[in-house]
Chains A and B, each alone.
Chain A
Amino acid sequence: MDMVTAAKVFSDIGWGLFHYIIFYPPVYQFIIIPGLVAALVVVVFMIWFERKAAARVQMRYGPLEISPRTGGAPQLIADLIRYTVQELIIPSAADFFAFIVAPNAMLILSLLPMVAVPMTSISEYWPIPMGYSLLIAVALSTLAPIFTVVMAWASNNKFSVLGGVRESFIIVAYELIAVISLLSVVPLLHTFNLVDIVNYQMSGIWLGLLNPIALLDLFIAILMSTSGFPFEIPDSETELVAGPFTEYSGLIYGINMGGGYIRRWAFSVLMTLVFLGGWAPYRPGPGILLGYFVPSLIVVVKATIVMAIMSFLRAVYGRYRLDQALSLAWEVLIPLAFAAFGISVAEAFFGVHP
């Protein structure tokens, strides 16, 4: 019988903690990369970038005063602290439970697709079996926006309700586009497996090049879903003060404000994997560093660039009217999405498939 030393017990527990909880891939992916922590870091950077980029175009500096040398980069940290310690006002007429739960549920559900995406081709680090991972990720991504409608209804405010109605119109419109254009790669590669999809793109032919219409469609659908310009319709501040978020304050408003970005982050990661080659051209090597961190870093950088392009549109566009956005979605983008699907089928037929 071996001696059970205290040191061994502790090291076993530590190893267990690390292996089964902290680096248990589903948990790790959800909490750290590409989940909550990475998302927060990227969102903080992205809000700063959005403000700085718009400011550059708009003859001004943007956030600067807090630290002129870094271009005002800590501004968002300061904002975060402010939101955290600000007073939380809950209107007496609001539905308390739904008012509090909905934003948090939205935040969590926005990140849920992250438990289904692989960050490397080494099966040891997959969060779930990858057989139908694209389908699962797409399905999970559709859960979050419903809670925006719940928030609007719970706020018991006219502007909120109008914003919530607009949001629900938009959900119905963009989801179909996003789902069809994401799934348009399936007939081409005969697989729902995200790892296979990325591995195919290792050859240098990104699916975005093979099917640019699907890429464009998905790009616009993401903008719509996360109310980015030119589709910033639910919380259009000129006529509806802040849309569904009118009654929110303090930390919960901060969650709401970041919520859209986090959803955009989740979609960007998905888009990177499916259309922009994932961790290609890097081939994951052995070990956790080369096999997991490097490829996931590549994905994060690519997805950040996608988000940066989306953020830059704020400086160029105004917002569409609700019915114009909807008609754009139903009359232009959905036919385009079907066309993209058709292109994939045609490409598969003519043998682009490896």
Chain B
Amino acid sequence: MIEPILTTRDLSKSFGGLVAVNNVTLDFAPGRVHAIIGPNGAGKTTLINLLSGDLPPSGGSITFKGRNITRLPAFEISRIGLGRSYQKTNIFPQFTCFQNCWLGAQSRLKTSMKFFRPAAAYAEVHARAERALDLCGLTHRRDLPPAQISHGEQRQLEIGMMLATEPEVFLLDEPLAGMGPEESEAVVRLLNDLARDHTLILIEHDMDAVFAVADLLTVMVDGRVLATGTPEEIRSNAEVQDAYLGSGEGQA
């Protein structure tokens, strides 16, 4: 077994009386695509929010490359190499696609407390942003504001911004949500490309896509981990069949 890059131990999050994530203990291996599936309300997005620092956990711990990052704020987590994309498109509406990626790319400067040299003069940022834009397939939309591109393209831009931050671990919250089949296909290709030298943690409802890209699957129900295993193991797991695949397949 390879040393996991990201681990959670007894990770919990409750909102008032509602326990959204309940004692989740998971290991995420480097270089793998690890998908988290489960019915709506299973706590998948909350888990991602805990990993990305968007929400503080109520209990348990998160370790990234041996470092305890449980209480780190979101921006620190991003800076050490965990990037995330959002389920609901979360971009900068008044900037162009390129500028959106630019902001992601600029965040990798040691600091942006730079007041005089024009941002445009930072060649490495420029290159990173262009690369991200290219990777997510939006070069042809470079100078359009998000309002003028399709919904699927906005989803691609969402991923592009994350790419621009050049993370080691990608936290992807339903990257395919609301995409047409062609766009989906392109994004799945992109995910497969990324998977070659990155760690991907993925929430997705599109089961075909999940089985096409994931190395490992974790099934969550009611905030708990029901099972973790390879796609085959999960497919044949009776409990999963019962709790999820059997009843709630219609999600995708």
A and B co-occur in one complex: no
Interface of A with B (CB < 8 Å)?
A: none
